[in-house]
Structure 1
Amino acid sequence: MVHTLVDSLTAHASRHPDRTAYRYLVTGDCDGEIQEISYGRLARRTKAVAAWLQERGLTGSRAMLLYPPGLEFVSAFLGCLAAGVVAVPGVPPQGRSHNHRALTRMKRLIADADVKVVLGGREVLASLGQLAEHLPELDDMARKASEDIPDGAADGWLENSPPADSVAFLQYTSGSTSAPRGVMVTHANLLDNERLVTERMGHTPDVLAEYGHEMFVSWLPVYHDMGLIGPVLNTVHLGATATLFSPLHFLQRPERWLEAVTRYRPHTSGGPNFAYELCLKHAGPALLDRLDLSGWKVAFNGAEPVRAATLRRFADTFAPAGFARRALYPCYGLAEATLMVTGGSVHTEPVLLRAEDDGPHAGALDAAAVGCGRPGPGLTVAIADPERGTELPEGETGEIWVAGASVAKGYWRNALATRQTFRATLPGHEGRFLRTGDLGFLRDGELFVTGRLKDLIVIDGRNHYPQDLELSAELSHPALRPGCTAAFAVDGGTEGERPVVVAEVAPDAEGEAEKIADQVRSAVGEAHGLSLREVVLVRPGTIPKTSSGKIQRRATRAAYLDGTLAVIGVPDRE
Structure 2
Amino acid sequence: MARSLVDLLTTHASIHPDRTAYRYLVTGDSDGEIQHLTYGRLAVRSRAVAAWLQERGLAGSRAMLLHPPGLDFISAYLGCLSAGVAAVPGVPPQGRSQNHRALTRMKRLVADADAKVILGGREVVAALDSMAEHLPELDGIARIATEDIPDETAAGWREPELAADTVAFLQYTSGSTSAPRGVAVTHGNLLDNERVITERMGHTPEVLAEYGNELIVSWLPVYHDMGLMGPVLNTLYLGATSTLFSPLHFLQRPARWLEAVSRFRPHTSGGPNFAYELCLKHATEDLVDRLDLGSWKVAFNGAEPVRAATLRRFAETFGEAGFRREAFYPCYGLAEATLMVTGGAVDAPPTLLSPAETGPHAGEADAAAVGCGRPGPGVTVAVVDPGRQEEMPEGETGEIWVAGASVAKGYWRNALATRETFRATLPRHEGRFLRTGDLGFLHDGELFVTGRLKDLIVIDGRNHYPQDLELSAELSHPALRPGCTAAFSVDLGTEGEQTVVVAELAPDMAGESEKVTDLIRSTIGEVHSLPVRDVVLVMPGTIPKTSSGKIQRHATRTAYLGGTLARVTEAAES
Distance 1:336 1:397 in 2: 21
Whole-Å Cα distance in 2 between the matches of residues 546 and 437 of structure 1?
A: 25
Q: Which residue of 1 aligns with 2:543?
A: none
Answer whether contact 1:303 1:550 (CA < 8 A) is retained: no
For residue 573 of structure 1, report the CA deviation from its aligned partner.
5.7
Give the structure 1 partner of residue 542 of structure 2: none
When residues 452 and 288 of structure 1 are mapped into structure 2, their CA distance, relative to the original with a 3 A threshold, is same
Corresponding residue of 2:264? 264
Shift of 1:96: 4.9
- What pairs with 1:306-345 in structure 2 (closer than 5 Å)? 306-345=306-345
Deviation at 1:136, TM superposition (A): 2.0
Q: Which residue of 2 aligns with 1:161?
A: 161
Q: 1:24 is matched by which residue type in structure 2? A: Y
Partners of 1:488 and 1:364 lie apart in 2 by: 33
Deviation at 1:489, TM superposition (A): 7.6
Question: Which residue number corresponds to residue 86 of structure 1?
Answer: 86
Tell me whether 1:485 sits opposite 2:498 in the alignment: yes
Bigger shift: residues 5-14 or 330-339: 5-14
Q: How does 1:355-374 map to 2 (within 5 A)?
A: 355-361=355-361, 363-374=363-374
Residue pair 1:9, 1:236 contacting (<8 A) in 2 also: yes
> 1:267, 1:351 → 2: CA distance?
21
Residue in 1 aligned with 2:541? Answer: none
* Residue number in structure 1 paired with 2:120: 120
Return the offset for 1:95: 5.9
Contact map agreement 1:21 1:37 (CA 8 A) in 2: yes
**What corresponds to 2:404 in structure 1?**
404
CA shift in 2, pair 1:537/1:294, >3 Å: farther
How far apart are residue 316 of structure 1 and its match?
0.7
Where does residue 70 of structure 2 map in the other structure?
A: 70
Q: Which residue of 1 aligns with 2:43?
A: 43
Structure 2 distance, partners of 1:25, 1:483, is: 29
Which region of structure 1 is more displaced relative to structure 2, 343-352 or 139-148? 139-148
Question: Could you give the per-residue CA deviations for residues 320-367 of structure 1, whole angstroms, max 9, x where no partner exists?
Answer: 000000000100000000000000010000001111103222643111
Do the aligned partners of residues 324 and 450 (structure 1) sit closer, same or farther apart at CA in structure 2, a change above 3 Å counting? Answer: same
8 Å contact from structure 1 (residues 303, 333) kept in 2: yes
Query: For residues 222 and 156 of structure 2, what CA distance do their matches in structure 1 show?
Result: 28
Taking only aligned residues, the RMSD between alpha carbons, in angstroms, comes to 3.1
AA aligned to 1:470 is D
Select which of 467, 470, 482 maps to 2:491.
470
Distance 2:532 2:72 in 1: 27
Q: What is the CA–CA distance in structure 2 between the aligned matches of 1:453 and 1:397, rounded to whole Å?
A: 11
The offset of 1:184, in angstroms, is 0.2
Cα separation, partners in 2 of 1:428 and 1:550, compared to 1, 3 Å: farther
The within-5 A match list for 1:138-217 is: 138-217=138-217
Which runs of 5 or more structure 2 residues have no equivalent in the other structure?
458-487, 507-513, 536-549, 558-566
Quickly say closer, same or farther: Cα 1:573–1:306, change in 2 above 3 A: farther
Contact 2:525/2:532 (<8 A) preserved: no
- Aligned counterparts of 1:265 and 1:259: Cα–Cα separation in 2: 10
Aligned to 1:455, the other structure's residue is in SS state: coil
Q: 1:446 to 1:487 in 2, by over 3 A?
A: farther
Q: Distance in 1 between matches of 2:322 and 2:362?
A: 20
- How many pairs were matched up? 505
Farther-moved stretch of structure 1 (484-493 vs 385-394): 484-493
Q: Deviations over 1:9-28 (max 9, x none)?
A: 11111111110000000000
Corresponding letter in the other structure for 1:485: Q
CA contact (8 A) 1:470 1:486 kept: no
Deviations 1:296-335 (A, max 9, x none): 0000000011111111111111000000000001000000
CA distance in 2, matches of 1:394, 1:209: 40
Question: What residue identity is the alignment partner of 2:405?
Answer: A
Normalised to the residue count of structure 2, the TM-score between the two structures is 0.83
Residue by residue over 1:152-179, the C-alpha shift from the partner in whole angstroms, topping out at 9 and shown as x without a partner, is 1111001123111010000000112211
| 8 Å contact from structure 1 (residues 217, 266) kept in 2 | yes
Supply the distance in 1 between the matched residues of 2:77 and 2:339 (Cα, whole angstroms). Answer: 17
Query: Could you give the per-residue CA deviations for residues 425-477 of structure 1, whole angstroms, max 9, x where no partner exists?
Result: 111211100000000000000100001112399xxxxxxxx77x4134xx5xx
Instruction: Give the C-alpha shift of residue 124 in structure 1.
Output: 1.3
- 1:135: how far off? 2.4
Name the SS for the 1:115 alignment partner. coil
Counterpart amino acid of residue 271 in structure 1: G
How many Å separate the matches in 1 of 2:141 and 2:168?
A: 21
Q: 1: CA distance between counterparts of 2:222 and 2:341?
A: 19
Structure 2 CA distance for aligned equivalents of residues 453 and 134 of structure 1? 40
Instruction: Report if the CA contact (8 A) 1:89-1:170 is conserved.
Output: yes
User: After the TM superposition, which of the residue ranges 144-153 and 317-326 deviates more from structure 2?
Assistant: 144-153
Normalising by the residue count of structure 1, what TM-score does the alignment of the two structures yield? 0.83
Distance 1:108 1:120, change over 3 A: same
Aligned equivalents of 1:304, 1:456: Cα separation in 2: 11
How many Å separate the matches in 2 of 1:118 and 1:401? 35
1:542 is aligned to 525
| Greater Cα offset, 332-341 or 446-455 | 446-455
Work out whether residues 342 and 372 of structure 1, in 8 Å CA contact, stay in contact via their aligned partners in 2: yes
1:242-296 residue CA offsets vs partner (Å, 9 max, x unmatched): 1000000000000000000001000000000100000001111010011000010
Distance (Å, rounded) in 2 between the aligned partners of 1:85 and 1:169: 8
CA shift in 2, pair 1:5/1:443, >3 Å: same
- Structure 1 vs Structure 2: percent identity of aligned residues? 73
- Identify the residue that residue 28 of structure 1 maps to in structure 2: 28
Measure the CA separation in 2 of the matches of 1:244 and 1:429: 41
In the other structure, the counterpart of 1:292 is: 292
* Aligned equivalents of 1:95, 1:138: Cα separation in 2: 21
SS in 1 for 2:40: helix
Q: Verify the 8 A CA contact 2:354 2:363 in the aligned structure 1.
A: no
Q: Would you say the 8 A contact 2:354–2:362 is kept in 1?
A: no
Change (3 A) 1:536 1:352: farther
Could you give the per-residue CA deviations for residues 482-504 of structure 1, whole angstroms, max 9, x where no partner exists? 335125888999xxxxxxxxxxx
- 1:535 Cα shift? 13
Equivalent-residue separation in structure 1 for 2:452 and 2:388 (angstroms): 18
Instruction: After superposition, give the CA deviation of every residue in 1:184-207 in whole Å (9 maximum; x if it has no partner).
Output: 000000000000000000000000
